[in-house]
Amino acid sequence: MQQLLSFTQVVNLIKAVGDKRTVIVEGENGIGKTALFHALRKDPKFADHVAVDPIDCTQLSDGSVWMPDIDKENGVSRELPNERFGVNKHNQKGINGARPALVFLDEIAKAPQFIKNVLAPIVYEPEGSVVFCATNLSVEGLGDSIQAHLRNRLTFVKMRKPSADEWINWAADAGVAPEVIAFVHMYPQVMDSFMDYEEGGKYHGKALDKDNPYVFNPRASQIGYATPRSLVSASDIIKQIDNMDTETLNCALSGTVGESTAVDMSAAVRFGRSLPLFERIVKDPEGTDVPDNPTAQIMQTFQFVTRTSNRDEAEAVTKYVQRMRNEMQSLFVNTVARSTRIAQFATVPAFGKMLADNKKYH
């Protein structure tokens, strides 16, 4: 089985060789392949590049890449590239001051063969620009295929799903709803891959449909399932919980992450709505009740990580967390320490002591 790379490893590979070789990233649907482009666009190494919008290759036609231009004076024709590839009258190739482009070709293996053919000059010869592509795994059965002689001219790597901890660390900084983060913490198997249940996988011999009904199953008909992408969609729904009734919420979640995920996620949502208000905790951290239920405390932990915005709130939240069970204190300080929220907590002495008392963070 081919080695799977993490998101960070793929970003570093493209940074290292992307101006010389085109990297094609294969991975399960919804795991963050498009997010590679956004990470690279923000990287200082590409500050001078023209970052064009991601290009969905399945939506291209023959005129979407090159168009003929007739030079009657010289009796010849030539092909002009579409502006979507970062070339325009202000940034013409070969003209002094032209900037390299950062081009992301999504779903390239699903495109018709003639589109792959017309993309060939762009894909095969980046010439100082960075061109990289993404597509799904062929075993997902979504119609991804690239001929062998074309594969031989490109660099193919497979990207894995993030682990539960990796996704939680990202989600805590990305503003994902604490109910969703808590769900992933309690059900880390949502970040397992269907390939883990195939021959050679770490769960080979177990039944995917029974042991992990949360994730994508290429052998089943599913309305929805949990992926890093669909979990963010669920977060958007949960954030609007005050604008819908319970039945609407449950139906929307089922249609986004699948029924099995929605049922367990809804339980986290119910616990979240029963918690003391964040504003009340900040105002009176030592007098506000601490819930006895461990699930409720997990919910609170991620609520604190995602909502704390200044040092005063950080100090109050830390006082409150000191009253919680030890494992919640450990979860809290280690999650904060791996996120950008550490800036609010770094000068709170009680937080520093709590962090020192817990050895999980490295």
Which residue type sits at 146?
A: I
Q: For the chain, what is the mean pLDDT?
A: 88
Please tell me the CATH code under which domain 4-159 is placed. 3.40.50.300
What is the spatial distance between Cα 347 and Cα 303, in angstroms, rounded to a whole number? 20
In terms of pLDDT, which residue wins out, 275 or 83? 275
Query: pLDDT grade, residue 145 (50/70/90)?
Result: confident
Query: pLDDT grade, residue 361 (50/70/90)?
Result: very low
Can you tell me which residue has the tokens 């909502």? 307
Cβ contact 101:85 at 8 Å = yes
Report, as an integer, the average pLDDT of 17-33. 92
Q: Is 94 left (phi over 0), alpha (psi -120 to 50) or beta?
A: left
pLDDT, tens only, 313-350: 999 999 999 999 899 999 999 999 988 889 999 999 99
What is the spatial distance between Cα 154 and Cα 210, in angstroms, rounded to a whole number? 38
CA end-to-end distance (rounded Å), the chain = 30
pLDDT, tens only, 154-197: 899 999 999 999 999 999 999 999 999 999 999 999 999 998 89
Q: What is the pLDDT of residue 74?
A: 86
Q: Among 302, 348, 292, 295, which residue's Cα sits nearest to residue 323?
A: 292
DSSP secondary structure string for all residues of 86-127? S-STTS-TTSTTPPPEEEEEETGGGS-HHHHHHHHHHHH--T
User: Containing H/E element for 330?
Assistant: helix 326-337
Radius of gyration of the chain (CA): 24
What is the spatial distance between Cα 135 and Cα 29, in angstroms, rounded to a whole number? 8
Residue spans per domain, the chain: 4-159, 164-356
pLDDT, tens only, 72-95: 888 888 777 777 777 766 766 655
DSSP 8-class letter at 290: P
Check pLDDT > 70 for residue 362: no
Report, as an integer, the average pLDDT of 192-217. 89
